[in-house]
């Protein structure tokens, strides 16, 4: 059974800082891994999708890496902005997608 752990559970940083969110998972038999953001009371916004054969993906200020064999992924956010404040969810995708509990990020203006 897939178990997903995200560290830290919450993070507050001043605007402009670079930051790293961590995700670990127990079952490496995945097709891909997705990172999402969720604003309070809203649905999911897909940020990045990394295929199991890939090591990383980049989109703008976001970079996600995947080490499938060790069951780890990181989401790097460069030059953080207040608009980045949200909950970030890691979701390894096998036959099912199992979510971590997320990291609640607050960027201080």
Partner 1 sequence: GAVVSQHPSWVICKSGTSVKIECRSLDFQATTMFWYRQFPKQSLMLMATSNEGSKATYEQGVEKDKFLINHASLTLSTLTVTSAHPEDSSFYICSAGGGTGKNEQFFGPGTRLTVL
> Interface with partner 1 by CB under 8 A: which residues?
31-32, 34, 36, 41-44, 46, 49, 51, 89, 91, 93, 96-102
Task: Report, in Å, the least distance between residue 25 CB and partner 1.
Answer: 13
- 61 with 77: CB under 8 angstroms? yes
The Cα 18–Cα 91 span in angstroms is: 22
Instruction: Please measure the distance between the N-terminal and C-terminal CA atoms of the chain and give it in whole angstroms.
Output: 40
Q: For partner 1, which is the closer residue by CB, 5 or 63? A: 5
Minimum CB distance to partner 1, residue 26 (Å): 15
Tokens 């891909």 sit at which residue?
32
Q: How far apart are CB 69 and partner 1 at their closest, in Å?
A: 19
């Amino acid at each position: 059974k897939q178990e997903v752990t995200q560290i830290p559970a919450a993070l507050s940083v001043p605007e402009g800082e670079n930051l790293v969110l961590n995700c670990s998972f127990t079952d490496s038999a995945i097709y891909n891994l997705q990172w999402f953001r969720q604003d309070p009371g809203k649905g999911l916004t897909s940020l990045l999708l990394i295929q199991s054969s890939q090591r990383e993906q980049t989109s703008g200020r976001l970079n996600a890496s995947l080490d499938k064999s060790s069951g780890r992924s990181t989401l790097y956010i460069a030059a953080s902005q207040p608009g980045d404040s949200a909950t970030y969810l890691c979701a390894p995708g096998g036959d099912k997608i199992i979510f971590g509990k997320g990291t609640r990020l607050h960027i201080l203006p």
